């Protein structure tokens, strides 16, 4: 009888600990659910891809350096506004690194003055604002051409990096084709919180079953 009571007390203690963890998890979920960002359905996507083995003939500078290179990063957009027909849907944040080997040759980011990014029809573009306004000499953009009805994720073999920059004494111009690009959703925070709660409950159930077997 005493052993039974001790097992029961131990089980109740474990249940109490698990319940507390679950309550914490659900509290996290509730907090995330009331995030003001949900009002416009902001979603973050991973973006990555590869450049062609060689730049277009006549190119110099960065387009040549990016040959056989790659790019990767993330971007966030209001998916309720997608697919974008003839309108421009601006990205709310983005960071994309253009890389060759282990060297980052250029970064396109909302944290950099003059940079812009948008989705328009099936085009996902990251660019220096000068390309659109003509107000400076640093004109470059990474443009990816997806299938119609693009909603933030998908793959394509069509894209290009365009450059027409004059950075002091360094001239860079021309283009490099994109041979492959892929956009995919980043799991939302609530997904991770839900997994944490489910895993905790699962571990508690297994321990309870082992305790019952040991009692016999």
Determine which of 2-6, 133-137, 183-187 has the lowest per-residue pLDDT on average.
2-6
Residues 13 and 104 grouped into a single domain:
no
pLDDT tens readout for residues 2-50: 444 444 444 434 434 433 333 334 343 344 444 444 458 999 999 999 9
The model's confidence at residue 85, banded by pLDDT at 50, 70 and 90, is confident
- Residue 182: strand pairing partners: 48, 155
Give the whole-angstrom CA distance, residue 71 versus residue 87. 26
What crossing angle do the helices spanning 189-215 and 2-33 adopt, rounded to 10°? 170
CA angle in degrees (0–180, nearest 5) for 35-37-43: 120
Residues 170 and 141 grouped into a single domain:
yes
Task: Return the structure tokens found at 136.
Answer: 């400076």
Listed in order, strand segments (DSSP E) in the chain are: 42-51, 70-78, 88-90, 93-100, 103-109, 115-120, 123-128, 138-145, 154-156, 159-167, 170-185
pLDDT surpassing 60 at residue 181: yes
Per-residue pLDDT, 10: 43
**Terminal CA-CA length for the chain:** 13
Give the whole-angstrom CA distance, residue 151 versus residue 89. 11
Per-residue pLDDT, 38: 45
Residues 61 and 151 grouped into a single domain:
yes
User: What is the three-class DSSP state of 134?
Assistant: coil
Per-residue pLDDT, 32: 42
**pLDDT, greater one: 158 or 128:** 158
Mean pLDDT of 176-191: 88
pLDDT tens readout for residues 102-120: 999 999 999 998 899 999 9
Query: What Cα–Cα distance (Å) separates residue 9 from each residue in 130, 179, 201?
Result: 70, 63, 18
**pLDDT, greater one: 68 or 211:** 68
Residues 44 and 123 grouped into a single domain:
yes
Please name the residues in contact with 114: beta carbons below 8 A apart, sequence gap of 6 or more: 128, 129, 130, 136, 138
Report residue 127 CA to chain centroid gap.
18
Residues 9 and 66 grouped into a single domain:
no
The model's confidence at residue 164, banded by pLDDT at 50, 70 and 90, is confident
Per-residue pLDDT, 171: 79
Residues 64 and 83 grouped into a single domain:
yes
Q: In which domain, by residue range, is 86 found?
A: 38-185
Residues 110 and 204 grouped into a single domain:
no
Helix-then-strand count for the chain, H and E:
4, 11
User: What is the three-class DSSP state of 1?
Assistant: coil
Residues 49 and 131 grouped into a single domain:
yes
Q: How many domains does the chain have?
A: 2
Which residue carries 């209001």 as its tokens?
78
Residues 29 and 101 grouped into a single domain:
no
Give the whole-angstrom CA distance, residue 191 versus residue 168. 48
pLDDT surpassing 90 at residue 175: yes
Residues 71 and 171 grouped into a single domain:
yes
pLDDT tens readout for residues 48-83: 999 999 999 999 999 999 999 999 999 999 999 999
Residues 9 and 55 grouped into a single domain:
no
Residues 22 and 72 grouped into a single domain:
no
Which of 16-25, 87-96, 207-216 shows the highest mean pLDDT? 87-96
Per-residue pLDDT, 128: 87
Cis peptide before 83 (omega within 30 of 0): yes
Per-residue pLDDT, 169: 63
pLDDT surpassing 80 at residue 134: no
């Amino acid at each position: 009888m005493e052993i039974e009571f001790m097992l029961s007390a131990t089980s109740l203690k474990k249940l109490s600990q698990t319940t507390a963890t679950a309550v914490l998890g659900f509290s996290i979920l509730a907090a995330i659910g009331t995030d003001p960002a949900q009002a416009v359905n902001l979603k973050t996507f991973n973006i990555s891809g590869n450049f062609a083995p060689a730049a277009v003939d006549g190119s110099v500078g960065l387009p040549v350096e990016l040959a056989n290179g790659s790019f990767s990063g993330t971007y966030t957009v209001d998916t309720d506004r997608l697919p974008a027909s003839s309108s421009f849907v601006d990205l709310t944040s983005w960071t994309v690194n253009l890389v060759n080997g282990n060297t980052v040759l250029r970064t396109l980011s909302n944290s950099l003055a003059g940079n812009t990014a948008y989705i328009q029809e099936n085009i996902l573009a990251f660019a220096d604002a000068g390309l659109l306004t003509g107000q400076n000499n640093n004109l470059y953009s990474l443009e990816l051409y997806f299938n119609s009805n693009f909603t933030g994720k998908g793959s394509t073999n069509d894209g290009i990096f365009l450059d027409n920059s004059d950075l002091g004494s360094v001239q860079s111009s021309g283009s490099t084709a994109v041979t492959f690009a892929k956009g995919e959703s980043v799991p939302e925070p609530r997904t991770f919180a839900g997994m944490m709660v489910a895993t905790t409950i699962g571990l508690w159930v297994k321990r309870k079953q082992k305790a019952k077997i040991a009692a016999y």
